[in-house]
Amino acid sequence: LRSCLPGRARCTNASRRARLVARFGDIYAQERLDAETLLKTYVSDVEMVQRIIYIAAVESFHAAKMAYRQFKIRVRETLSLGHSGPESLEDTVLDYIVRHEDLYDVQASVNEVIRSMNINPKISFPPEIDFIVISTLIQEVCLVAFSMQTLIPPLDVAFGTDGELFSETRYYRSFDSDLTAALVAYHVWPALMENDVVIAKGEAVTKR
C-alpha cells in the first residue's frame, strides 16, 4: 500500500474490512485464551479473569479510537497546507493514514489502557502484579481497532453492561451459563459492530 493511488483506501475497503474482521476473530480464539491462561496463574477467580480480559478489549478500542482521531487531525492539518486535488482532502488524509499505519504509537495506547484498568472499580489484581502481563493482548486489540477506524464505515465494539438483557443476536452464551437466565451476569468478549449491525458475536455469561 506504500505506492497506492489516491482514493485507494476506498477501493481496498472491502478487502481490508474482511482481513480485520478475521483478525478480530483470531484474537478472540488465540491471544484472548493465552491471556486467560496467563492470568489464571495470578488470579484464581475465573470470573475476575474474564472481566479483566473483557475490559482490556473494550478499553483498547477506546484508546485506539482516541489515538486515531488525534492522528487524523495532525495528518489533516499537515496535508491541507499543500492539498490541491483532484481527490478530496478527506480521501487524501485517509489514504495517507492507511499507507502509514505503522506511525501509530501503539505503545502509548497500551499504556493508556493499563492506566484505565488500574482505576476500574470492577476489576482487581494482586498488588505485586501489573496488568502489563497481558500487554500482548492489549497491543493486538489496539492495532486492529486502530485499523478498523480507517474503514468506511468504521467498526467498533458494542457497549455492554452487567445485568443487561441477553441478546442472542449480539452474544454467544458461555458454556457455564444458566441457559434459562435472561440477564447478562458479565461479559467475556465484546461484539463487533458496524453502526448498529453485529458483524461478529461476543460472548457473555448469563446467571440467575
Same domain, 175 and 137: no
Q: Is the pLDDT of residue 77 over 90?
A: no
Task: Note whether residue 3 is domain-resident.
Answer: no
pLDDT of residue 7: 67
Task: Note whether residue 60 is domain-resident.
Answer: yes
Same domain, 34 and 131: yes
Same domain, 54 and 89: yes
Percentage of the chain lying above the pLDDT 70 cut: 95
User: Please, which contacts does 167-176 make with residues 24 or more away whose CB atoms are closer than 8 Å?
Assistant: 169/198, 169/201, 170/198, 170/201, 170/202, 171/201, 171/202, 171/203, 171/204, 172/201, 172/202, 172/203, 172/204, 173/203, 173/204, 173/205, 173/206, 174/203, 174/204, 174/205, 176/205
Q: How many other β-carbons are positioned within 10 Å of the β-carbon of residue 70? A: 12
Beta strands in 126-182 (DSSP E): 155-157, 171-173
Task: Note whether residue 178 is domain-resident.
Answer: yes
Task: Note whether residue 2 is domain-resident.
Answer: no
How many domains are contained in the chain? 2
Sign of CA dihedral 37, 39, 43, 48: negative
Q: What is the mean pLDDT of residues 128-139?
A: 93
Q: Is the pLDDT of residue 3 over 50?
A: no
pLDDT digits (tens, 9 = 90+) for 143-170: 999 999 999 999 999 999 999 999 999 9
pLDDT of residue 123: 92
Same domain, 88 and 142: yes
pLDDT of residue 9: 73
Task: Note whether residue 1 is domain-resident.
Answer: no
Task: Note whether residue 52 is domain-resident.
Answer: yes
Same domain, 115 and 42: yes
Helix (H) or strand (E) holding 148: helix 135-148
Same domain, 118 and 49: yes
Domain membership of residue 52 as a residue range? 8-154
Task: Note whether residue 57 is domain-resident.
Answer: yes
Q: Is the pLDDT of residue 6 over 80?
A: no
Non-local CB neighbours of 162 within 8 Å, separated by 6+ positions = 184, 185, 186, 187
pTM: 0.91
Q: Is the pLDDT of residue 4 over 70?
A: no
Task: Note whether residue 176 is domain-resident.
Answer: yes
Same domain, 136 and 33: yes
Same domain, 83 and 176: no
Q: What is the mean pLDDT of residues 100-112?
A: 95
pLDDT digits (tens, 9 = 90+) for 24-62: 999 999 999 999 999 999 999 999 999 999 999 999 999
Same domain, 42 and 115: yes
